[in-house]
Amino acid sequence: MTTLFNGFNIGPRALSHRVVLAPLTRMRSDDGDIPNDLMVEYYAQRASIGGLLISEATPVSIRGNGYHGAPGIYADSQIDGWKKVVNAVHAKGGLIFMQLFHAGRQSHRDLQPGGDAPLAPSAVSFEGMAHTKSGWQPASAPREITLNEIKVAIDEFRQAAQRALAAGFDGVEIHGANGYLIDQFLQDGSNQRTDAYGGKVENRVRFLLEATEAAVSVFGANRVGVRLSPSGTFGGMSDSNPNLTFGHAAEKLNALGLAYLHVIEPRVAGSQVIEEGAEPVASRALRKVFSGPIIAAGGFDAATAAAAIEAGDADLIAFGRDFIANPDLPHRLRHNLQLNPYNRDTFYGGDHRGYTDYPFAASTLTAA
């Protein structure tokens, strides 16, 4: 496992290992989408010296939320709660990026101001769910976002990055994956526009680039990452030529000099592995056009993570489900310790159960 525990730099930040906490929707915030003390404990538990954490998907707009209980970064009132999270992670010697997202069509009228329809590149519905105060409900039919609303949405990414900076985050990650708004613009199964944001791939990539550049204007390029899910189907996504679409996106992002590109392998959809034993192909393909650091995610264990790094397909590996159940995952992987099993029923929403009550290994406590 020595490969996973060689040092590495993300922009100006030095990491002591390559095990990354993947962004994981957990839906435990307080009213007003404000981070609370339970969230502080959760992130602090998973921080390690020189380790990188990426926050759960954090809506940049009140219109961008698809999950009741998800913490936001669209209002100044949310900054102080995030400061507590960041300070707790830094106190443990860790680094933390905030993942910025807009759910787009993966939302419900109950989550929208005035009960409006969710926004999307085109009025194309999908058969998926959104989490409301009343629980999981089928997502509402979206309406096409206007050109003026696109400008507003891009500025919301910039303002969200400013708030993340004020909260002390080490950087931000633009969520362009998993069928949310940016991904909806990227892929032609959901983007049927005929203006400057639709049609040919150069136009469909425009929203991603503008949102990323908005964050770069706040943090600088070497403190901004982007997450993509090439050929991912989560959120009802599809594209007629994913190699062209995502290859072009990665090429354009490469020119920005970003902190990293975060790639989700298509063998997973959300929190489910849909192709057991499938090779990690997405990071390998995008490595050909993206010369900066690559974080690979989706279905890795210790052995396959080390193999991907040794092959040069990725520089760091993000873990989700195993990091949920093992707050000391880097320590366990380093010392080849048995992992706690995860409880999928407690992934989304709830209290401390399945969130902050997973046990640490005895040797972790001794080392601490």
Q: What is the pLDDT of residues 274-287, one digit of tens each?
A: 677 677 889 999 99
Name the least confident of 1-10, 120-129, 133-142, 193-202: 1-10
16 burial class (0-12, 13-18, 19+ CB within 10 angstroms)?
middle
Crossing angle for the helix pair 206-219 and 242-254, nearest 10 degrees? 20
Cα–Cα distance for residue pair 338/333, rounded to 1 Å: 9
Confidence at 191, pLDDT banded by 50, 70, 90? very high
pLDDT at 248: 98
Confidence at 347, pLDDT banded by 50, 70, 90? very high
Q: Which domains does the chain have, with CATH numbers?
A: 2-367 (3.20.20.70)
Among this protein's residues, is 358 annotated catalytic? no
**304 pLDDT above the threshold of 90:** yes
Of 157, 150, 169, which Cα lies nearest the Cα of 59? 157
Q: What is the mean pLDDT of residues 69-74?
A: 98
Mapping DSSP to helix (H, G, I), strand (E, B) and coil, where does residue 80 land?
Answer: helix
Confidence at 180, pLDDT banded by 50, 70, 90? very high
Q: What is the DSSP letter of 34?
A: B
| Active-site choice (42, 43, 74, 180) | 180
| Residues paired with residue 129 on neighbouring β-strands, in sequence order | 138
**8 Å CB contact between 128 and 153:** no
**Averaged pLDDT score across all residues of the chain:** 96
Cα–Cα distance for residue pair 79/33, rounded to 1 Å: 11
Kindly give the residue spans of alpha helices, DSSP state H, lying in the chain: 37-45, 79-91, 147-166, 181-186, 201-204, 206-219, 242-254, 282-286, 302-310, 321-325, 329-334, 362-367
Of 84, 64, 86, which Cα lies nearest the Cα of 75? 64
The token duo for 156 is 């919301």
pLDDT digits (tens, 9 = 90+) for 237-255: 999 999 999 999 999 999 9
Q: What is the mean pLDDT of residues 73-93?
A: 98
pLDDT digits (tens, 9 = 90+) for 144-178: 999 999 999 999 999 999 999 999 999 999 999 99
**315 pLDDT above the threshold of 80:** yes
| Residues paired with residue 224 on neighbouring β-strands, in sequence order | 172
**1 pLDDT above the threshold of 70:** no
Confidence at 272, pLDDT banded by 50, 70, 90? confident
Confidence at 268, pLDDT banded by 50, 70, 90? confident
pLDDT digits (tens, 9 = 90+) for 16-32: 999 999 999 999 999 99
**233 pLDDT above the threshold of 70:** yes
pLDDT at 270: 79
Q: Are strands 224-228 and 260-264 parallel, antiparallel or unpaired?
A: parallel
Burial letters 330-342, b for 16+ CB under 10 A, else e = bbbbbeebebbeb
pLDDT at 276: 72
pLDDT at 136: 95
